[in-house]
Amino acid sequence: MADGQFPYQLSIWNPQSLITPADYETGTTLDGRPSGTGPFKLEKYDIATGATFARNDDWWGGKPNLEKVDFVFSDDIATQITGVLGGQADAIVLFAVVGGDALLSNPDVTVESISGAAHRQLWMNTREGTFTDVRVRQAVALGINRQELLDVVLKGRGQMGNDHPVAPSYEFFDSTQPQRERDIEKAKALLEEAGKAGLAVTMHVPKLVEIPQLAELMQTQLKDIGMDVTLNVISTDTFYDSWCKVYDSEVAPAGCDGGEEFGIVDYGNRGTPDVYLVKAYATGEWNSAHYISEPFNAAVAEYQASLDLAGRQAAIKTVQAIATEDVPYIIPYFYDSLIAYKKNVTGIVATGLGHYYLGSAGFTA
């Protein structure tokens, strides 16, 4: 079988791509048996506090500038920001616009915005309940103001979404597809036709980065089309039961089941859209919308088998069109990955997935 994604499978974006010694056993970890070819060697690791890497003088890329690199682990963005601004740290691997003002406005800090495919999905259960009629889903999609969401929630650091998970950063993205624009009157008419005028529904969202603010603004926007949206903001400790609570192998699409019918879930950056297209749409594993479309699945399979750019572009054109028309998920935007480091830091190369290449990193005088 042809695999158009084979180069991706061997890239840094795929954590299963590591080439390890033949005698590595399942369950072997890097701290238990360090091995690699990078500019630094793991010296110390603590799952709770951080890791220390020492310079690899035998690195094939030359002698690194830094003798050591310390990674300090913290889930609290305020602590991370205070560390950089206070001089206890030199860089932050990834941060968000929400809570990141002190970095974004500081002249002593360099902030890089990396466009990518990370996004939020507003799922709607297409199999049962409120959103089985495509007109209702289209009405919700027409009721939101994407530009306002992008400007207010992300402060412009992202790209507008069009209710499919193929980001403009992908080389095969179909830029000729018309952008879905807000249309309040059409949205009201669709709800009326579907017998759902004045629809009241609960939106389940995780207390995660900017998602509560996104949900609040969507709630306000959807009032304009007559919807009454109640927000249920949940800790990430329990939220994912609201998204996909159980695995069901009996009811198609097999997989994700038992969750709520309406909510926002987070999807991180990927080098290709395969995870989104397959797990969230074409199979049931993460398919919280319970979406089934044979034409969509066929287009995804065609895309994955295509060995040239033209073939992928043709298949993705179909994928985008079907996803936007059927709208099992609303994707309002793709947000930039933000990294920050002090002005005297040089040579860091970062990716949208949070990789930091430090082989050439150092400090200016």
Mean pLDDT of the chain: 93
**119-165 per-position pLDDT tens digit:** 999 999 999 999 999 999 999 999 999 999 999 999 999 999 999 99
In angstroms, rounded to a whole number, what is the distance separating the alpha carbons of residues 139 and 10? Answer: 41
- Whether pLDDT at 94 is above 90: no
The tokens describing 45, both together, are: 């690791």
Residue spans of the domains in the chain: they are 28-114+337-363, 119-335
28-114+337-363 CATH: 3.40.190.10
Residue that the structure tokens 């040089």 belong to: 346
pLDDT value for 150? 97
Q: How far apart are the first and last CA of the chain?
A: 55
Q: Is the pTM of this model over 0.75?
A: yes
In angstroms, rounded to a whole number, what is the distance separating the alpha carbons of residues 186 and 358? Answer: 52
pLDDT category of residue 16 using cuts at 50, 70 and 90: low
Query: Averaged over 32-58, what is the pLDDT?
Result: 91
Q: Which residues of 200-235 are buried (b: 16+ CB within 10 A; e: fewer)?
A: ebebbbbebbbbbbbbbbbbebbeebbbebebeebe
AA identity, residue 209 = V
Angle formed at CA 14 by CA 338 and CA 116, multiple of 5 degrees: 30
The tokens describing 169, both together, are: 């950063």
**2-14 per-position pLDDT tens digit:** 777 777 777 777 7
- Whether pLDDT at 1 is above 70: no
The tokens describing 4, both together, are: 């158009």
pLDDT value for 4? 77
Sort 118 into a burial class: Cβ within 10 Å, 0-12 / 13-18 / 19+.
buried
Homologous superfamily, domain 119-335? Dipeptide-binding Protein; Domain 3 (3.10.105.10)
Helices (H), the chain: 6-9, 77-85, 101-104, 134-143, 146-153, 184-193, 211-223, 236-243, 274-275, 294-305, 309-326
In angstroms, rounded to a whole number, what is the distance separating the alpha carbons of residues 336 and 339? Answer: 10
